[in-house]
Chains A and B, each alone.
Chain A
Amino acid sequence: MKETIANAPLIQIQRNFGASSCTTPPKQANFHLFDTESGKHILLANGSRIFTISDEITQALEGNADDAEKLFEKFGLSAPAYITDEPLADVSVRSLSLAIAQKCNLGCTYCYAQEGNFGSKNKDMSAEAAMASVNLLFSEVSKGETVNLAFLGGEPLTNRKLLCECTAQAVALSKAKSVAVNFSITTNGTLVTPEDGEFFERHKFAVTVSLDGIGDVHNRLRAFKSGNESYNRILKNIRPLLKMQRDMQVSARVTVTPDNLFLRETLDEFISLGFHSVGFSPMLSSPTGKSEMGQKELDVMLEQMISCGEEFERRVAAGERFPFLNMTNALRELHKGTHRPYPCGAGAGYLGVSADGGLYACHRFVEDEDGAMGKVWDGIDRAKQNLWLSKRHVHFQEPCRSCWARYMCGGGCHHEVIKRGRAACNYIRGWLHYCLQAYIRLLEKRPDYFGV
């Protein structure tokens, strides 16, 4: 057995980060109490509102959770429901991801696209399907709005020609309709050339490179189909882009499996390489079940995430930029008080397109009936979309309905939940709990980080 943090006896979880409130099932549906050095605080699920409260109020709520609504009323904390049972409907598309190549040169152990082709034959998207997709993206917006066009696969750079054609078409439509367009690409980095870099720079792409660790850790998870190592090749390809980035942003995305739980050193290394940001997400459902994270591994991941977060807090407190993406995103959303009934835009303003021009809830549902929503030529199948939106609303998910994190989490990635279930709730709540504490600390130390 390979040694990973999860099974290495010496590296055990030592720290207690308030385990009572984040490693057990949710205590309260409507609020979450948490501490920091500066006192007691509360997150109210309704409206994702965060308050510092006195010990007396904390005690009153702890001792009387069933009467929470009455107590909220008394303390001026009550509010009309921000989110009702009403689902979104007939949402027009603002973001599309195109699987321009359903094929890949790597053979990653856990790939949701089953080594790139989503379990069917290798294929490229046709020019007709691609143009119809771009036209669809611009068909429902008015002057002054913004749309997002993402290239995914498989490995999108195996179909570079189409990528360039789609971009040109989108730029032309953007000018003609006075609609701004943002481009992004998720690539394995093995085929990127300096010319690609110039192209991405010119069109201000957000480039996400999948990298699962440093050197061999990455190689074990993301080797070429032939079995050859990919890490050095990717770094050689990406370095010129990292230097070149002005208008484009080159970020690293790490899929966390039981075999690459060394998050902290991965984060430090990738930030020092010059990535614009570095983000982690756990592998929760793979088509073969391989490399999925279990409870034990998720506990380790949470430890590691918190360690990365603490470094983030130190750096930001010192006035430095430290682009740990999970943290920057969480703090931004906590500060605003983002509350939503869905985890993401999938099946709403965001759809994925398969090589054959099929529309799906997102890039992961490509070729999957569970998320099918029509064809690019005929537009979105509204009946299917509306059914999806009403079924996926967090108020109709269990156990989300009674989880304090529901309006921030939104019920978890639809794909993972549909394919595997809700395996990561303790991890999600534990991470949120830590982020809430970090938010209060940074708000005190660096109010300017939040623009206040």
Chain B
Amino acid sequence: MSKSIEAKNLSAQLQYQAAGNPPSTLPQTAISNAFPGLEMDFRNIWKRILVGIELHESSNFVVAVDDDAPPAAGQLDNDYRLMSIEGIEFMVAVTGPLYPGGDNVSLPDTTFGDPQMSLEWSNALASIIQNYSGKSVHCVFESLENPKKTVKVKLKVRKFFDEADVNGEKVKLAVIAKDIAPPGQLTQSLCSPWQNDYRECACFYWAATRPDYVNVEARPDGTSTGNNWMQKNRTPDTPNVYIVDDWMDINLVNYTDLFRHWEESLRFIIGGKDEQPPQKVE
């Protein structure tokens, strides 16, 4: 039987919602943003872009070196990071305001206090994929311990798309190559929105779908008071004060609470207020 609708060109393929698929299968609605999504973590696609080594998905660290890597790459196993490919640099100085409306200042990397930050791979590697797929490139690595120590190695860029033999000819397919993303790699490091990321998410992305500011009451001066939904031990007599999120604050539900007994720790909110404990039935 012929299919009743078949998307032919690229714009049609991108937008088509096949029968039975939910709206989240469309690119503009999918929860697969640059940070780990729900369906896959696209950042993992870049980990094995260079033959012989594995990179971290969100920074420029070398996390593993293959046994059969080119000999010159062997030493990279020892805390190195990738600084540039063919002269294209991956560490840049980033400036911006530290708080809304603040002055533009140099933004250091909070983990390492480095005045430079590594760029996000999808953009940083775009021209490398376009120009050097399947070719060897000059890579420069820098030791984390001693930034003066650099290593120059020629590594091959993996082909991003798979190929097939059609009538004896190599034909490029619109499929991500297997050796760039072995089975299971794309679904590593997914968000766990109902556990860890439920409180972890610093930008309140997941929090947008759950209560945050509850038991809110207006004050005469136009401001309001209320509780943080993650606040423990809330009774009608608990002072109506919002505790700012801090995972070490013992007054707030912590990660372990969520992993072990989220059912007891979290409470339903009805009409913006804590649900009252069920009445005892005589």
A contact set with B: CB distance below 8 Å? 39, 41, 44, 47-54, 56-57, 75-77, 79-80, 319, 334-337, 339, 439-440, 443, 447-448, 451-452
Contact = CB atoms under 8 A, between A and B. Distances in A.
Main secondary structure of the interface of B (DSSP, over half): mixed
Interface string B102-118: 00000000000000000
A452 B175 CA distance: 9
Nearest to A144: B127
B15 A47 contact: yes
Interface of A is mostly: mixed
Closest 6 CB pairs of A and B: A337-B11, A49-B12, A54-B4, A448-B171, A52-B6, A50-B9
Contacts of A53: 4-6
Interface string B1-45: 011111111111001111100000000100000000000000000
B71 to A, nearest CB: 34
B174 A451 contact: yes
Contacts of B28: 80
A50 B15 CA distance: 11
Contact of B172 (A79, A337, A448): A448
B67 interface: no
Contact of A336 (B2, B10, B15): B10
Given A39-B2, A76-B18, A51 B8 contact: yes
Contact of B9 (A54, A56, A337): A337
Interface in B178-193: none
A177 to B, nearest CB: 16
Nearest to B166: A448
Contacts of A319: 169
Interface residues of B, number: 23
B16 A76 contact: yes
A337 B10 CA distance: 6
Contacts of B3: 52, 54
A452 B2 contact: no
Contacts of B6: 51-53
B176 interface: no
10 contacts: A47-B12, A49-B9, A51-B6, A52-B6, A54-B4, A335-B9, A335-B10, A448-B166, A448-B169, A452-B173
Interface string B62-88: 000000000000000000000000000
| Residue with the highest number of chain A CB atoms closer than 10 Å, among B4, B5, B9, B28 | B9
Nearest to A337: B11
A406 to B, nearest CB: 15
A375 B1 CA distance: 63
Nearest to A335: B9
Q: Identify which of A339, A439, A447 gathers the most chain B CB atoms within 10 Å of its CB.
A: A447
A50 B16 contact: no
Contacts of B12: 44, 47, 49-51, 337
A387 to B, nearest CB: 30
A49 B169 contact: no
Given A76-B18, A448-B166, A452-B172, A339 B8 contact: no
Contacts of B18: 76
Contacts of A337: 9-12
Given A51-B12, A76-B19, A337-B10, 18 more contacts: A47-B11, A49-B16, A52-B6, A52-B8, A53-B5, A54-B2, A56-B4, A57-B4, A75-B4, A76-B16, A319-B169, A336-B10, A337-B11, A337-B12, A439-B8, A440-B8, A448-B171, A452-B174
Given A39-B2, A49-B15, A76-B19, A443 B8 contact: yes
Contacts of B2: 39, 54
Contacts of A56: 4
A334 B169 CA distance: 25
B5 A447 contact: no
A448 B165 CA distance: 11
A360 to B, nearest CB: 33
A179 B10 CA distance: 30
A213 B100 CA distance: 65
B4 A49 contact: no
B89 to A, nearest CB: 11
A448 B170 CA distance: 9
B225 to A, nearest CB: 40
Given A49-B12, A339-B11, A77 B174 contact: no
B5 A49 contact: no
A45 to B, nearest CB: 11
A419 B4 CA distance: 45
Nearest to A79: B15
A52 B16 CA distance: 12
A51 B11 contact: no
A334 B4 contact: no
A77 B5 contact: yes
Contacts of A44: 12
Contacts of B172: 448, 451-452
Given A76-B18, A79-B15, A448-B166, A50 B8 contact: yes
Contacts of B174: 451-452
Contacts of A335: 9-10
Contacts of B19: 76
